[in-house]
Structure 1
Amino acid sequence: MPRNSRRAVLAGLALCLAATAVACSNDTGKKSAAGPVEIDYWGWTDIQPVVDKFNATHTDIKVKFVKQADLPGTATALRNTVAAGSAIPCLAQNFGDVPALLSEGLLTDVTDYVKPAESKFNATALSGAKVQGKYYGIPLGTGPTFMMINRAAYDKYGVPVPKTWDDVIAAGKALKPHGVQVMNLAGEDPSTLVNLIVQAGGSWYSVQNDAWKVDFLSPESVAAANILQQLVDNGLVANQTYQDRPALIAYFDQGKMVSLPTSTWQLTNYELHFKKTIGDWEPIDLPQFAGATKFATPAHGNALLVPKGCPHPKEASEVGIWMNTTKDGIDATFDKTTGAYAWPGAMPDPSPWIDAAVPRKLFGSHRSEAEAVINKASASGVDNWLVGPNYTGVFKELQDQWAQAVTKKITFHQLLENMQKFTVDDLKAKGINVAN
């Protein structure tokens, strides 16, 4: 690739490396002259009822749901199919951040079809599908983030309900003598660190002119690291793994860990499996940074993917927009077993579906508080989190660093320093312009 062309790519967020730049160009394919346009949708979560509802209400487009084994299987199959250039689906369930997937040459530009529909989405949801002002998928948004606490345990030990992260630390210190942990930080999951930084309005990546700027030591990152360091240094948190979900749920149900940052999609699982503490929990606002001037919750969303080589991106976009912004689309996700809907994270007003998202028994006498908490969390979402072109590898390294930090082998500040060096070195090794 000529140098000037490469610099132009960098100016557009440097997402297509020299080896993949051609694959990042759009290829719309051709529409069949006869009959409805057929759209294949790949995913591991069963959405057949939604597909059936769309097909029953549309004549010009028909969707075929192709069930995949799981997330890794979907990712591998799509990468192989796009590389082969044939039998490519037009929609795929998300398995990564849009900028990173775009850098692999896996996505197609659907700006012309999504942009006219922007008003149908909440503003925060849009950024998860967008790179440098262009859309490469259908915005999905994210679930509202709040906290649920074992109120019975808090009351038993006379601990005030936390409103700030400093309050969480203070609660942990008050609970520790009773053998109770205030939170859980799984050794394989650095999402708490990321969510704290997003909540504070920070990001590790930004773009300066035609180069990437990397800043793991931003004030927001340092503030998040300081909170986590105090929780770990004082022995206030558990390290129960998420990999054994039944064991994790059983641990949460013992009353030995009493504060859970959560979202609507997790509530039904707790309702079904909590036995000892069912009814003891209370939904509360997500704790804030001390001194914050605006209430905020992390809302880094993602997108329903439109793969590179999809022959009908216009129709694929129409399907995705309908699924995620219409009452019929959301209503079709109703699960008779749980009595809940898939959370409408892209909708400007999710309130019609909140009551169904709240289990009947989990919160006991505090159930009536859930609607206000969830509405506030949904309305207060922030997302200026920018993912760089090497984030897939960076996240794997972050997992390793996180595991060391939560077990006191390194400090969280050392984690940030190590990630700063790793990320900059990795970008440079890939031939990507870096401002650092």
Structure 2
Amino acid sequence: MPRTRRRAVLAGLALCLAATTVACSSDTDKNSASGPVEIEYWAWSPAQPVVDKFNATHTDIKVKFVKQADLPTTATGLRNAAAAGSKIPCLMQNFGDVPALLSEGLLSDVTDYMKPAESKFKPASLVGAQVQGKYYGIPTGTGPTFMMINRAIYDKYGVPVPKTWDDVIAAGKALKPHGVQVMNLAGEDPSTLVNLITQAGGTWYSVQNDSWKVDFLSPESVAAANILQQLADNGLVANQTYQDRPALIAYFDEGKMVSLPTSTWQLTNYELHFKKTIGHWEPIDLPQFAGATKFATPAHGNALLVPKGCQHPKEASEVGIWMNTSKDGIDATYDKATGSYAWPGAMPDPSPWIDAAVPQKLFGSHRPQAKAVINKASASGVDNWLVGPNYTGVFKELQDQWAQAVTKKITFRQLLENMQKFTVDDLQAKGISVTN
């Protein structure tokens, strides 16, 4: 593609910033002339009760739930359907970040249907469904991020409850002589780094004019790396893998690791499997960066997807908005086995569902304070995180770099420097305009 033509594409199609292989959506709504419009919904989570509730309360749209085996199967199924140009669903559970999926040409522009409904959503939840101000899905938000600490161990050794990340480092130094690690940094999971940068208000990708800008060495990234470097250098963290979940839970239950950044979706699992430390844990506010002027928690959300090729994007959007912002939609997610609901991450006020999200025994005498901690975390969520069109490959490289950093083979600063070069080189190799 000639450079002048490519620049026109970059400017006109927002963040569909790849070269000739990228197709942005421009679907037109095709409504049925008679009878209700049928929307096919693909998901691997147990969504049938939600679909049944929608169908029972709506006459002009009917949803057909097509259960998927898992996330990879769903992703492959949509890509195959898109390639064939047939049997494309109109609504899907999310399997990736919106900008990356848009760069593949997989998503419909649903801005016209989402804009009138924006007030129904928590503002922070909107970002994850957008690409440069346009919507390519229905915001789902994310769970609130807070910390739970083994208060019994903190009290046993007289260690103050941490309020900042510097306090976490200090707590780690105080606990280390007793054979206790302050946190766990799994070697395959760089989410702690991403979450710290998001909490600080940073991002690695941004858009400058008609090009991507890549900045892994932003002040927010460097501040996050410095915290992690101190934790690693001083031997204050464990490196237990998430790949063997039962072994990980058993390790947490030993009292040898005492601080867990967490969210509501993880609590029931801890309640069911902690034996020795049940009732010893306390929910606390997520530690903040020293000197932060505003309390913040990372809240990079996502979206219910409306695939490109959907014949009824207007109706699909209506269904998605109902699922994520209506009381009926959230109530229909109730799980009898756990007594909880799917977290209403897009709702401005999730308080009606908080109590059900808190297990009865996990926090013992500290359970009454959980609602305030969770509500504060939810209200303080920030999402500055922007994902670029090559993030799938970048994340795989990040995992490799992270594994080396947590085992002290490289520094976290070197991780950032290596990722800067890798990401820029990869974008340029793909013919995508980039500046750094």
One-letter code aligned to 1:264: T
Give the equivalent residue in structure 1 for 2:48.
48
In the TM superposition, residue 2 of structure 1 has moved relative to its aligned partner by 4.8
Q: CA deviation at 1:6?
A: 1.9
Whole-Å separation in 2 of the counterparts to 1:140 and 1:384: 16
Partner of 1:127: 127
Match of 2:76, SS state, is helix
Alignment partner, residue 375 of structure 2: 375
Task: Return the offset for 1:208.
Answer: 1.2
Partner of 1:103: 103
Contact 1:14 1:432 in 2 (8 A): no
1:3 CA drift (Å): 3.5
Task: Verify the 8 A CA contact 2:188 2:403 in the aligned structure 1.
Answer: yes
Match of 2:163 in 1: 163
The answer to whether the 8 Å contact 1:154/1:160 transfers is yes
Q: How far apart are the structure 2 equivalents of 1:29 and 1:426?
A: 36
2:214 maps to amino acid:
V
Aligned residue for 1:32, secondary structure, equals coil
Q: Give how far 1:30 is off.
A: 2.7
1:246 Cα deviation (Å)?
1.1
Q: What is the CA–CA distance in structure 2 between the aligned matches of 1:173 and 1:82, rounded to whole Å? A: 53
1:213 to partner: Cα distance: 1.0
SS state of the match for residue 217, structure 1?
A: coil
1:83 aligns with 2:97: no
1:217-366 mapped onto 2 (5 Å cutoff): 217-366=217-366
In structure 2, distance between residues paired with 1:91 and 1:8 = 31
- Runs of at least 5 residues in structure 1 that lack an aligned partner in the other structure: none
Query: Contact 2:151–2:282 (CA<8 Å) still a contact in 1?
Result: yes
Q: Is residue 38–residue 61 contact of structure 2 (8 Å, CA) maintained in 1? A: yes
In structure 2, give the amino acid aligned to 1:226: N
Task: Write the deviation string for residues 82-104 of structure 1: whole angstroms up to 9, x where unpaired.
Answer: 11110000011111110011001
Taking structure 1 as the reference length, what is the TM-score of the superposition?
0.98
**CA displacement, residues 117-143 of structure 1 (integer Å, 9 cap, x when unaligned):** 000001000000001110000001111
Matched with 1:114 is 114
Aligned pairs (5 A) from 1:55-74: 55-74=55-74
Q: Secondary structure at the match of 1:24?
A: coil
- Whether the 8 Å contact between 1:29 and 1:309 is mirrored in structure 2 is no
Whether contact under 8 Å (1:16, 1:105) holds in the other structure is no
Letter in 2 for 1:4: T
Residues 7-16 or 120-129, more deviating: 7-16
Equivalent residue for 1:154? 154
In 1, are the aligned partners of 2:15 and 2:132 still within 8 Å (CA)?
Answer: no
**CA offsets per residue over residues 317-376 of structure 1, 9 Å max, x none?**
000000000000000000001000000000000011000001100000000000110111
Q: Displacement of 1:16 after TM fit?
A: 4.6
Q: Secondary structure at the match of 1:75?
A: helix
Tell me, in whole angstroms, the C-alpha distance in 1 between the residues paired with 2:248 and 2:18: 41
Aligned residue identity for 2:19:
A
Question: Aligned to 1:187, what secondary structure does the other structure show?
Answer: coil
> For residues 110 and 243 of structure 2, what CA distance do their matches in structure 1 show?
36
CA offsets per residue over residues 153-203 of structure 1, 9 Å max, x none? 100111100000000001111111111110000111000000000000001
Is 2:14 the partner of 1:20? no
Deviation at 1:105, TM superposition (A): 0.5
Output the CA distance in 2 between the equivalents of 1:31 and 1:389.
32
Q: Measure, in 2, the Cα distance between the counterparts of 1:372 and 1:14.
A: 38
Q: Per-residue deviation at 1:29?
A: 5.6
Q: Name the structure 1 match of 2:136.
A: 136
* 1:202 correspondence with 2:216: no
Once the two structures are TM-superposed, the CA of residue 17 in structure 1 deviates from its matched residue by 2.5
Equivalent-residue separation in structure 2 for 1:134 and 1:8 (angstroms): 18
- 2:183 aligns with 183
In structure 2, the residue matched to 1:174 is 174
8 Å Cα contact 2:44/2:93 also seen in 1: yes
Unaligned residue ranges in structure 2 (runs of 5+): none
AA aligned to 2:141 is G
| Aligned amino acid, residue 155 of structure 2 | D
RMSD across aligned C-alpha pairs, in angstroms?
1.1
What is the rounded CA distance, in whole Å, between the counterparts of 2:426 and 2:295 in structure 1?
35
Distance 1:20 1:357 in 2: 44
Q: d(CA) in 1 for partners of 2:42 and 2:315?
A: 15
- C-alpha displacement of 1:25: 2.7
Per the alignment, do residues 375 and 199 of structure 1 end up closer, same or farther by CA in structure 2, a change over 3 Å counting? same
Contact 1:282 1:366 in 2 (8 A): yes
Please give the alpha-carbon distance, in whole angstroms, between the structure 2 residues aligned to 1:184 and 1:253.
13
Q: Secondary structure at the match of 1:355?
A: helix
The percent of aligned pairs where both chains have the same amino acid is 88
Q: Look up the SS of the partner of 1:378 in the other structure.
A: helix
2:7 counterpart residue number: 7
SS in 1 for 2:434: coil
Return the alpha-carbon distance in structure 1 between the equivalents of residues 28 and 47 of structure 2. Answer: 25
Aligned residues: 435
| Contact 1:16-1:102 within 8 A present in 2 as well | no
Q: Residue type matched to 1:161 in 2?
A: V
Residue 26 of structure 1, CA deviation: 1.8
Rounded to whole Å, the distance in 2 between the matches of 1:260 and 1:363 is: 13
The corresponding residue for 1:192 is: 192
Distance 2:14 2:26 in 1: 17
Query: How far, CA to CA, are the matches of 2:50 and 2:414 in structure 1?
Result: 47
Q: CA deviation at 1:243?
A: 1.0
Q: Deviation at 1:76?
A: 1.0
TM-score (structure 2 length as normaliser): 0.98
Equivalent residues of 1:24, 1:105 under 8 A apart: yes
